[in-house]
């Protein structure tokens, strides 16, 4: 039996009578018949003909990742393409928050340093003073980015070890 080149959990959505309902029940980003997935490529470019809507790409010397919306009916055939190493869900599913006009809106409630919702913790206005002074500390959010990259590096190392 040939090795499966996609996350087995995708079978539930591929075989579902209503992929939209199944995706929503699992907290996955789904739109227009397509599911947000990560494609691990064999150091090649994304093959044409599968209807993938690319959201972002990452490439290094030995790794190419493409995140994009893949039509549900194309998942299996795309995973069998020689250019594709593996098809999987994003590490953290991204929910689609689309307004009627089709624009994407972020949740207006920002988190403050204590993890509380600023809108609930204050009157909705930020009391932070923004300055360009360097205090020797990393910029807000910088530590989270470094932590996320570290987790991804460890996960990739564990996968290919």
Percent above pLDDT 90 for the chain: 46
CA 66 vs. chain centroid, Å, equals: 10
Task: Report the b/e string of 50-86 with b at 16+ CB within 10 A.
Answer: bebeeeeeeeeeeebbbbbbbbbebbeebbebeebbb
Q: For residue 56, what pLDDT band results from cuts at 50, 70 and 90?
A: very high
Does 136 score more than 60 pLDDT?
no
Alpha carbons 94 and 121: distance in angstroms, whole number: 26
Residue pointed to by tokens 């530590």: 143
Extents of the domains making up the chain: 1-121
Is the confidence at residue 16, as pLDDT, over 90? Answer: yes
Under 8 Å between Cβ of 35 and 72: yes
Q: What is the tens place of the pLDDT at every residue in 58-83?
A: 888 778 999 999 999 999 999 999 99
Q: Which of 153, 160, 157 is nearest to 58 (CA)?
A: 153
- List pLDDT tens digits, range 97-123: 555 544 444 443 344 444 444 444 334
Residue in the structure block whose two tokens are 């920002």: 110
- pLDDT band with cut points at 50, 70 and 90 for residue 94: low
Listed in order, strand segments (DSSP E) in 3-159 are: 30-31, 34-41, 53-59, 64-71, 84-88
User: Which of 53, 57, 7 shows the shortest CA–CA distance to 30?
Assistant: 53
Contact status, residue 74 vs residue 8, Cβ threshold 8 Å:
no
């Amino acid at each position: 039996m040939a090795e499966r080149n996609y996350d087995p959990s995708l079978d539930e959505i591929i075989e579902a009578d209503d992929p939209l309902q199944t995706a929503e029940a699992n907290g996955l980003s789904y739109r227009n018949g397509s599911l947000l997935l990560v494609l691990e490529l064999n150091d090649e470019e994304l093959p044409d003909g599968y209807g993938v809507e690319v959201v972002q790409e990452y490439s290094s010397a030995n790794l190419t990742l493409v995140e994009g919306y893949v039509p549900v009916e194309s998942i299996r055939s795309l995973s069998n393409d020689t250019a594709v190493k593996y098809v999987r869900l994003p590490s953290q599913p991204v929910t689609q928050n689309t307004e009627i006009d089709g624009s994407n809106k972020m949740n207006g409630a920002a988190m403050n340093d204590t993890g509380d919702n600023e809108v609930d913790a204050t009157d909705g206005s930020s009391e932070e003073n923004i300055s360009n002074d360097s205090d020797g500390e990393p910029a807000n959010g910088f530590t989270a980015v470094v932590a996320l990259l570290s987790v991804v590096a460890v996960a990739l190392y564990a996968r290919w070890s």
